[in-house]
C-alpha cells in the first residue's frame, strides 16, 4: 500500500488550488518544528526538561521548561522561511516580528506552543495548537491589530498531539486530515483522512470540580447527563477529562463527544478560561470542518470579533447535537 507523506499531501492540495505554495511551505515548517518538540517531550527527565522554568508567561502563569523550549523552537523555525509577516505566541505578550534581515511573506502565524503543560511532569499527553491568517494587505508592518481577525478568516489550523504516537492534525478548509509521525523515517504519514465527528455522543469532558461556579444552563445540562437512563436523556453518559485541550479534542475528533470550558464565576472577569486566538479559534475551525460545532454557549466562536491578542472566551465544542442543546439552554430565560 502506498504511504502518502504530509509533504505529498500538501503538494496535492497546492496542485488542486486549495493552498498556495507559501502556505504549503509554512505548514511544512510548522510540522518540522513539531518533530523537534516531540523529541524534547519524549525524552522528559532524560533531557532535564521537566519542572518549572522559574518564569511566568503573559497570562501570569508559571511556565514549565518545555513551555519555553517549545516556544523557542517554533519561533526560530518560522523566522527565516520567508512565508510569514509576523507571529504571535500564547507565551509572549507582544507580536513577534520577523528579523529585518529575513524575507517576509503574506501570512500570520499564531500558536500555543505546549497546550496542557501542567500534565508534562506526570507524563500525560500534551500538544501544540496553531492558526494561520492572511496579513491584511496594505497594513505595513504587522501590529496586534493585524491579528485581530474573526476565526472564519483562518486559512489553516491544526494541532500536534504528543502521546503514545505523535500526530499532526490539519485543516486548510477542506476537511480534517490526520498524520502520524514515523520516527524511523522522520516523516508524517497520512493515516486519518477526512476525520469526522459523530453528531451524537455518550461522552462529555468538563472540569466537574468547578460545578459550584457554573451558570444555570451548564449545570442543568451536566445534571441531565449524570442522571443517565433514569433522567430526561434516557441513556448513560461517561465523563472524560484530561485537562489538556488537545487530548480532549482529539478524543472527540476520533470518536465523538463534547468539550466544555464554560463561563463561570471563577473566570467571568477574564471573559472565559481559554484563549480565543491560540486555542478556541483553531480548534473551532477543526471541529466545524469535521462536522461538529463550536460555541461560547451564546454565539459561534468563529464569528467572534477579537478585541485583543490574548482575549479569553468560554468554549463548548464537539458533537453537533450536544453543542446545540447547550446553546439552546443558554437561550432559555
Residues of each annotated binding site for Mg(2+): 90, 112, 114-115, 279
Annotated binding site, which residues?
90, 112, 114-118, 207, 273, 279
C-alpha cell at 138: 496594505
Return the ∠ at Cα 6 (arms to 5 and 7), rounded to 5°.
90
Contact indicator for 74, 33 with CB cutoff of 8 Å: yes
Q: How far apart are CA 150 and CA 169, in angstroms?
A: 21
C-alpha cell at 318: 464537539
Q: How far apart are CA 205 and CA 249, in angstroms?
A: 9
Q: Half-sphere exposure of 306 toward its Cβ, with a 13 Å CA cutoff?
A: 24
258: left (phi > 0), else alpha (psi -120 to 50), else beta?
beta
Residues composing the chain: 333
Annotated binding site for substrate, which residues?
115-118, 207, 273
Contact indicator for 226, 261 with CB cutoff of 8 Å: no
Closest CA to 301 of 174, 147, 144, 150: 150
C-alpha cell at 192: 486519518
Amino acid at each position: 500500500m502506498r504511504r502518502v507523506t504530509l509533504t505529498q499531501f500538501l503538494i496535492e492540495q497546492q496542485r488542486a488550488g486549495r493552498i498556495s505554495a507559501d502556505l504549503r511551505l509554512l505548514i511544512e515548517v510548522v510540522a518540522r518544528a513539531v518533530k523537534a518538540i516531540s523529541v524534547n517531550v519524549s525524552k522528559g527527565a532524560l533531557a532535564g526538561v521537566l519542572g518549572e522554568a522559574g518564569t511566568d508567561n503573559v497570562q501570569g502563569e508559571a511556565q514549565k521548561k518545555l513551555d519555553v523550549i517549545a516556544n523557542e523552537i517554533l519561533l526560530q523555525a518560522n523566522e527565516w522561511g520567508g512565508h510569514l509577516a509576523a507571529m504571535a505566541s500564547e507565551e509572549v505578550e507582544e507580536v513577534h516580528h520577523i528579523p529585518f534581515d529575513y524575507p517576509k511573506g503574506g501570512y500570520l502565524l499564531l500558536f500555543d506552543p505546549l497546550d496542557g503543560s501542567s500534565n508534562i511532569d506526570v507524563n500525560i499527553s500534551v500538544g501544540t495548537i496553531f492558526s494561520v491568517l492572511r496579513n491584511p494587505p496594505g497594513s505595513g508592518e504587522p501590529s496586534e491589530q493585524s491579528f485581530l481577525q474573526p476565526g472564519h478568516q483562518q486559512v489553516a489550523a491544526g494541532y500536534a498531539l504528543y502521546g503514545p504516537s505523535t500526530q499532526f492534525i490539519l485543516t486548510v478548509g477542506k476537511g480534517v486530515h490526520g498524520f502520524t509521525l514515523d520516527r524511523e523515517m522522520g516523516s508524517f504519514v497520512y493515516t486519518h483522512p477526512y476525520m469526522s465527528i459523530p453528531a451524537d455522543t455518550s461522552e462529555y469532558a468538563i472540569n466537574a470540580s468547578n460545578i459550584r461556579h457554573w451558570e444555570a444552563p451548564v449545570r442543568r445540562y451536566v445534571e441531565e447527563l449524570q442522571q443517565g437512563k433514569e433522567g430526561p436523556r434516557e441513556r448513560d453518559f461517561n465523563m472524560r477529562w484530561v485537562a489538556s485541550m488537545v487530548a480532549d479534542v482529539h478524543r472527540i475528533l476520533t470518536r465523538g463527544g463534547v468539550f466544555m470550558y464554560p463561563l463561570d464565576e471563577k473566570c467571568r472577569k477574564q471573559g472565559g478560561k481559554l484563549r480565543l486566538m491560540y486555542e478556541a479559534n483553531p480548534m473551532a475551525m477543526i471541529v466545524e470542518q469535521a462536522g461538529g460545532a463550536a460555541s461560547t454557549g451564546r454565539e459561534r466562536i468563529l464569528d467572534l470579533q477579537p478585541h485583543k491578542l490574548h482575549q479569553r472566551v468560554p468554549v463548548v465544542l464537539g458533537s453537533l447535537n450536544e453543542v446545540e442543546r447547550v446553546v439552546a439552554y443558554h437561550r432559555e430565560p
